[in-house]
A and B are shown apart, each in its own frame.
Chain A
Amino acid sequence: MQIRDYVLRRLLILPVLIVGVSIIVFALTRIGGSPIGIYLSHEMSAEEVAELEARFHLDEPIPVQYVYWAGGVLSGDLGWSGVAAAPVTEVFPDKLAATMELAVASAIVAVTLGIGLGTFAGARRDRFPDHVTRVVSISGAAMPLFWFAILLLIVFWVYLGWFPIGRSDAQIFASIPHPTGLYTVDALIAGNLTAFRDAVWHLVLPALTLGYGATAIIARMMRSSLVEELQEDYVDAARAKGLPERLVLRRHARRNALIPTVTVIGLSFGFLLQGTVVAEIIFRWPGLGRWMADSVLRGDQATIMTYVLFTSVLFLVVNLVVDVIYAYLDRRVVLGT
């Protein structure tokens, strides 16, 4: 089977998985009780409440409610957010763009640093650079995110003043149009380097905070699988062919060591998404995080369900991409399915 067929097959399964995930999300959210709460006020009479319930089909059995909700999602109606005091669809895109920009930036930090450090350490097993990398990465995995975030904030914003917090400078924000909502991309589209630098500078602290934890996991995985691969016969066989050590490492050992690492990368994307909530609150990043925290506390179920549904789908897509990379790296996978 070709990789193309494999990707197609996985894409066909994707909608089925999404429906499954949406059912689980809907059922789990209902454990928190009826979503009517956020729409009520103390002045309402029992009749008014009943009328409201009937209007939102909340008097129907839960499976029927699901069908109404799913129908709404398909027609672009994600419900009313009590916290934002606006339809979810109106607030969601901007905040999503902010969160995505942060998540992608931290993923880039995590993947490049993780694979780089892991390769560096694995190729120098049990020597001084390996020990240093070990300390750096274990502290990344061990430090609580919020604590590390505040540490960075104090050092680089308060003391040194090297990096700003928030998402952009107000003046620079107003100077260019924002068609995508991803400020770095918007700045590039507008061809405005000042705006681009501003967007990147604002990203540094939160992306570093978020990326560091995932870097640690990826680097540890990369290191140990590289150490394992370097003991394989094919590495000696590559040396026996006369390849320079650089190619033995890059073309042979690292390629195989990436196979287990890629899986970890896919899984740590979920970790990154969770982390955005904390990082956004600490660095005043106007993403989904803060809105979500408030929504959970106030029982804004329309928002919660949108968020959970969206992140689950995103997680599925990321892991689909991971599986495709996996199949590309290890051809035996394609045979198995």
Chain B
Amino acid sequence: MTSAAVEPTPTAAPAASVIASVRDLRVHFRTKAGIVHAVDGVNFDIRNGETLGLVGETGCGKSVTARSFLQLVPMPPGIPVSGSILFRPRNPCPDCLGEGCSACDRTGRVSSPCPACSGEGCQHCDQTGLETIDLLDLPDQQLRDIRGDRIAMIFQDPGKALNPALSVRDQLGEVFFTHRSAELLDAAGIDPDTQSVTGRMIRRKANMRSRGVENLALAIPPLRDRRVALASAADGMVAAALAETQIPNPMSVMDRFPHELSGGMKQRVMIAQALACNPDLLIADEPTTALDVTVQARIIELISQLQERYRTAVLYISHDLSLVKRVCDRTAVMYAGQIVEVGDSDQIFHDPEHPYTQGLIEAIPSTNRERGRLEAIEGTVPELIEPESACRFAGRCPHTAPVCTTHDPVLEPIGEDRLVACFIHNPPATVPTEQLPRPDGRLL
């Protein structure tokens, strides 16, 4: 055997409480130098309501993994190789109609039964009996329905992720016009089922489908009144979404353009936009990297507050370990396109098992260490162009043994709720003992 077969990751938690599972995700990129295996067999679960941190160095494939959730990896140059991202969307709770009751754990949302087996548990729904969809294999329309509604994303630099030419009102309003047009029509007092010509036109407006000439017609009085009602209904929703982020004076912020806002304000607008439809999963791709340290703390606090209120699961991507330690329930460590260790954040940071994680944590500057010296992991990240079957960390690892350069370790459970991909912990049975790394080889 030269490469360990990749099996679906065994997880300690029951699959039903998992909102999304990434299974053997492989995304490669075609470059002049060859095929870059940017993401190469990534497995992890995100559980309901938790914050999962995804950490790793720049270029390890964190962002590509995150963007894959919404199919935002540019193809080409990207090549979708294999894998699936299973997602269990949740719908408004039938008992309380989204208000929040005991049946839905005050979230106002519940999972729906799998349409294939009506809750029996089948292969399609991973034996959970819950509606499960593969985000990587969706028709366009269904993908768009999920984007921004069930799964939302916050980008690294709010200065770039907001359109400079559109006002905050326009950019936030789009979310409601895309996913909440029925509610908008309702709030504007327009019958959503009207079949008259004007009714259809206003419906098209609510779905952002109006074209040039139609927009002129919508400026004429009888239609104009309804269009204005629709616009003010949208304004109401936008103002409410902005108010959620504790932005001062939401009504005046609405009319501003991104360049008139500070970095922190912009990120609040992005957060308002992402949480506008109360998503089941929020992907935060380094949401504070571009911000001042003082603003950072407040943005993180805001995300956790809103997450707690709406029970949104968060995939928190960062290279800032001390931040992840503070905000994430569980942490997945990524190295060179693969996950090397997953587990409870406290455990990972106090008792790292993978040599790479150990090195990373060593490298966090700490107040109780001697001044002036900063720790670093020796060596550099390997080239990911058509990598050989071997542990990617072998070249930098202090415990490298012969097996590490011939076999590719897989994530395997060690202890409760802990997965590590390292031959120290999971020696393959077929390899002679003298080729294995020493099991007591601890760095710390």
Contacts and interface: CB of A to CB of B under 8 A. Distances in A.
Given A331-B259, A335-B259, A240 B148 contact: yes
Contacts of B148: 240-243
Contacts of A240: 70, 72, 147-148, 152-153, 155
A330 interface: yes
Contacts, number: 80
Given A239-B72, A242-B146, A233 B273 contact: no
Nearest to A335: B259
Contacts of A324: none
A36 interface: no
Contact of A242 (B147, B163, B164): B147
A234 B160 contact: yes
Interface in A183-235: 232-234
Nearest to A255: B165
Contacts of B259: 331-332, 335
Interface string A237-256: 11111111001000110011
A329 interface: yes
Contacts of A238: 163, 174
Interface in A238-282: 238-244, 247, 251-252, 255-256, 259
B362 interface: no
Contacts of A329: 165
B164 A332 contact: yes
B162 interface: yes
A252 B174 CA distance: 11
Given A236-B155, A241-B147, A331 B162 contact: no
A330 B208 contact: no
A256 B164 contact: yes
Contacts of B161: 233-234, 236-237
B257 A331 contact: yes
B157 interface: yes
A242 B180 CA distance: 12
B174 A241 contact: yes
B205 to A, nearest CB: 13
A242 B72 contact: no
A164 to B, nearest CB: 32
A234 B162 contact: yes
Given A233-B157, A236-B155, A237-B155, A243 B178 contact: yes
B88 interface: no
B334 interface: no
B149 interface: yes
Contact of A255 (B166, B178, B208, B273): B166
Given A241-B175, A243-B174, A330 B165 contact: yes
A332 B208 CA distance: 26
Contacts of B149: 242
* Most chain B CB within a 10 A radius of its CB, from A234, A242, A252: A242
A237 B178 CA distance: 14
A259 B166 CA distance: 13
Nearest to B163: A234
B178 A242 contact: yes
Contacts of A242: 144-149, 175, 178-179
Interface residue tally on B, bucketed by range: 20 to 34
Interface residue tally on A, bucketed by range: 20 to 34
User: At the interface, is chain A mostly helix, strand, loop or mixed?
Assistant: helix
A147 to B, nearest CB: 37
Interface in B147-200: 147-149, 152-153, 155-157, 160-166, 174-175, 178-179
B166 A251 contact: yes
* Most chain A CB within a 10 A radius of its CB, from B152, B178, B273: B178
B160 A233 contact: yes
* Most chain B CB within a 10 A radius of its CB, from A237, A256, A330: A237
A242 B179 CA distance: 8
Interface in B253-277: 257, 259, 270, 273
A241 B149 CA distance: 7
A220 B38 CA distance: 34
A256 B149 CA distance: 26
Given A237-B155, A255-B166, A243 B144 contact: yes
A287 B70 CA distance: 58
Nearest to B160: A233
A176 to B, nearest CB: 29
B315 to A, nearest CB: 13
Nearest to B211: A250
A229 B262 CA distance: 22
B258 to A, nearest CB: 9
Contacts of A256: 163-165
A335 B178 CA distance: 32
* Most chain B CB within a 10 A radius of its CB, from A236, A247, A330: A236
B163 A252 contact: yes
B70 A239 contact: yes
Nearest to A235: B163
Contacts of B178: 241-243
Nearest to A332: B259
B74 to A, nearest CB: 8
Nearest to A234: B163
A259 B67 CA distance: 29
A138 to B, nearest CB: 25
A22 B178 CA distance: 54
A122 B300 CA distance: 38
Interface string A142-184: 0000000000000000000000000000000000000000000
Nearest to A240: B153
Interface in A6-21: none
B273 A241 contact: yes
Contacts of A233: 155-157, 160-161
* Most chain A CB within a 10 A radius of its CB, from B146, B152, B156, B165: B165
Nearest to B175: A241
Contact of A247 (B157, B179, B208): B208
Contacts of B144: 242-244
* Most chain A CB within a 10 A radius of its CB, from B144, B163, B166, B208: B163
A259 B270 CA distance: 24
* Most chain B CB within a 10 A radius of its CB, from A238, A240, A329, A335: A240
Nearest to B72: A236
Nearest to A258: B165
16 contacts: A234-B160, A234-B164, A236-B67, A238-B163, A238-B174, A241-B152, A241-B174, A241-B175, A242-B175, A242-B179, A243-B148, A244-B144, A251-B166, A255-B166, A256-B163, A331-B259
Interface of A: 232-234, 236-244, 247, 251-252, 255-256, 259, 329-332, 335
6 nearest A-B pairs in the assembled complex, by CB-CB distance: A242-B148, A241-B148, A242-B147, A233-B160, A237-B161, A234-B163
Interface of B: 67, 70, 72, 144-149, 152-153, 155-157, 160-166, 174-175, 178-179, 208, 257, 259, 270, 273
Given A236-B155, A238-B174, 15 more contacts: A234-B163, A237-B161, A238-B163, A239-B70, A240-B70, A240-B72, A241-B178, A242-B148, A242-B149, A242-B179, A252-B166, A255-B166, A256-B164, A259-B165, A331-B165
